Amino acid sequence: MDLPTAFYIRDAELKNGVIVGQFAPKTGGEQFGLVLSKGSPLTACVTKAVDALRGNGSLKTITAKWLSGTVGAPVLK
C-alpha cells in the first residue's frame, strides 16, 4: 500500500501497528488525487487551488513534510 494509507491503517485500524519502512520513490514521483462527485461545482475551485499549490512550490513542501522519510518511515534498502 502507499505510505499515507499505511499511516491511516496503523493509526485508525490497528493496535500496536508498526511501519518499518518505505520503498524508495519512483522516478517522477507518485501521483495523488482528490475525489469529488461527478459534476461537482467544487471541481474548478479545487483544481485551481491544487494548481496554485503546485505552482508556488507549496505542494512539494507539504509532500516533503508529511509524506517523506521525515515521518518516521525510513527508505528500505
Distance CA 32, CA 8 (A): 15
Distance CA 73, CA 19 (A): 6
74 contacts 19 by C-beta, under 8 angstroms: no
**pLDDT value for 41:** 97
pLDDT tens-place values along the chain, 77 residues long: 888 889 899 999 999 999 998 888 778 777 778 899 999 999 999 999 999 999 999 998 988 787 765 677 888 88
Phi-psi region of 48 (alpha: psi -120 to 50; beta: other; left: phi over 0): alpha
